[in-house]
Amino acid sequence: MKRFSLIQALGIFVFLVFYGFAVFALTRDYYLRQFPKWQAEQIVQAPAPAHGTPRTQARPKPAPLPVIEDAVPPSIVESNPVLLAQRGDDLFAQQRYAEAITVYRRVLEMDPADTDSRNDLGLALHYSGQTAAALEALRAGTQADPSFQRIWLTLGFVSSQSGDADAARQALETARDLGPDNGVGQEAARLLGIIDGG
């Protein structure tokens, strides 16, 4: 049996280490480049509502992806309104409302028709103590997309929290009437009962 000299064994070891790192680097680079395409395929867009059908949620909330959060380059997130809105949702869930407000405003600069982000912006503003600005954002959202049921519910909730029972009642009745049998409509009816003392 042939034995390797120390120099040959060291050369083989160095080659194997280099080869392993090269394979790792190429594989990592491939998945980082393919990630935005892979994530876009994971996000299923909500179908457009039929005429007269309320929209309760515009942006689907996909399950968390099994990747490291920092794997997506910031430049991609900043230029992709879907990824940016998800970042805003994450900040909102962590109660980092001031940061979420900045993110939602950036999403709306890129996509002014994103009523879901306008709804979330209104809630973040309200929870950060900026109720007047929240009401303004929510009213603009109801005017831009009157069939979006959730924003009417949010407007009713924030109006009731601000002490404007009449505006709250009107918004909640609209939310209820847009879809009385779904969860948003049922929550609107429950809040109406509280306002009316029932």
Decide: 99 and 131 in contact? Cβ < 8 Å.
no
pLDDT at 73 (0 to 100): 54
CA distances from 182 to 4, 59, 141, 172, 178 (A): 75, 17, 21, 14, 9
Q: What is the 3-state secondary structure (H, E, C) of 37-59?
A: HHHHHHCCCCCCCCCCCCECCCC
pLDDT at 52 over 50: no
pLDDT at 55 over 60: no
Decide: 156 and 122 in contact? Cβ < 8 Å.
no
Decide: 73 and 29 in contact? Cβ < 8 Å.
no
pLDDT at 126 (0 to 100): 94
- pTM for the complete prediction? 0.63
Mean predicted confidence (pLDDT) in 137-142: 94
Q: How far is CA 122 from the centre of its chain?
A: 14
Per residue in 10-51, pLDDT (tens digit) is 888 888 888 887 777 777 766 666 554 444 444 334 444 444
Phi, psi of 116 (to 5 degrees): -65, -45
pLDDT at 33 (0 to 100): 60
pLDDT band at 100 (very low <50, low <70, confident <90, very high): very high
Per residue in 57-95, pLDDT (tens digit) is 555 555 544 444 455 456 556 778 888 888 889 999 999
Distance CA 125, CA 112 (A): 17
Choose between 99 and 30: higher pLDDT: 99
Distance CA 175, CA 181 (A): 11
Choose between 101 and 40: higher pLDDT: 101
Q: Across the chain, what does the average pLDDT equal?
A: 79
pLDDT at 198 (0 to 100): 56
pLDDT band at 104 (very low <50, low <70, confident <90, very high): very high
